[in-house]
Structure 1
């Protein structure tokens, strides 16, 4: 009996990854290439289409076929799959991504924001399976958010909902690439955590991290130092957790969710963030929604975006809008 696969695409500002996904959520590695160096969005889409065709030929050789293609992209995406704005991949600004890729592949194509793809992957296959309504928070280079309400993705009137990283936690704080100041992203992302560490080291604070080169310093190293009881590392992670708890308190009061699923590289240090996160959450939110809202680590790792995009390609009607 022939099988039907979907192709999931995880497109970032640095790399693009494609993979085959079967109906049991099993991922078969496909291809990875740099998403940098393309002068036009059409060139990037043409390269993605070529990699998709390779996968399509691969399964056809086994008598199988591709049902749909789904892509998660780092930017705002409207209901038609057009990229409204992609700050870290500007060649896609204004590009009708879904339409162009579908024209080249002649199979159904659906496109969504990358954090929404992660949220949907965790809903179908991961930590969100038993949650009806939850927020997925991605703590990586930036802070992303994907919102699942009543078991469907909520993307907002213009497809711009879920930008959790740009919730303000410090009115006159650090300037942000979005044009505002004091966004959560500037404190609780990997980038924000490293900025806090570097500022403290420049001020002469002692730390195990001072022995590392600038290239070697990473959020993972901050986590390792904190586990060795390094005071500076623990302080920075506690501050990141406190800011995250502050923002989540507003979410708890506003939406009364079942839970929050935390993904991304910084999530490896979630246990170190949790004491300050919970203290701030319980201090600022009403007790019942705060206690209701479970804080869970994502279960799918790097495959969350691939899985969510692939499933979305098959069933794009899971989106709520207004």
Structure 2
């Protein structure tokens, strides 16, 4: 485990959890997914989170994928896990992540219940105090911290960052401008490339990139263009790749996960498109659309990094 009390910066890698035809976890496919992200320069790996179908894997499977991720990454970049749901299970997985050598965890929302701010504070507090790992708080769904609750949570040294998956810019401005550099600020909006230009001025210096699982060179090209204020390249990447993929993603619920697997299969990574309910696979029509977008993307924006199977 890293002793640094800093949130990861740059482009955050969120591997999927691939399944084989029998519905079991495909460890070879997951290994290749993680290797591909690290080889392509992503600054961190977040295993068993939303794109990793956290909701659908057992504790035994969770332990297996975390152990595999830590082993494959081998200290090259920080490894964060997903913890959440009911507080007892979240604490167990936080402690398990610590034993397995992860650097930290991302706290996902509690199951179903919408709590008051004091209740959310106690939920996060219980998890944070259960281990010495770095903790990133996820603003998502039924867990959206307001300023007063967050100010109390930053008193814990384990808390290193906040990931926003809500898009409430009024709240983001209040939080970032009040708390400032005490925390790392991560953009976790769906298809975060779409919103990242609005987040950078507030101090958000990292984002989770779903498309980096299959076109990481586009993620990097886009992020570099943002940092260099290359408006023409940003516009081109939006028109050619990012917005067309985002339009497909919005066509069906669950495509935030299953479209990643489709993209990985299209580019030749050794994963199937199998998902676990309630997520559904990508429909053939939409698969073909994505295939066409990626073909044009590789023609216009070629990459020297070949996939080694």
Normalized against structure 2, the TM-score is what? 0.34
Q: Which structure exhibits the higher relative contact order, with contacts defined as CA atoms closer than 8 Å and separated by 6 or more residues?
A: 1
* Larger relative strand fraction: 1
TM-score, with structure 1 as normaliser: 0.33
Q: Which has the larger radius of gyration?
A: 1
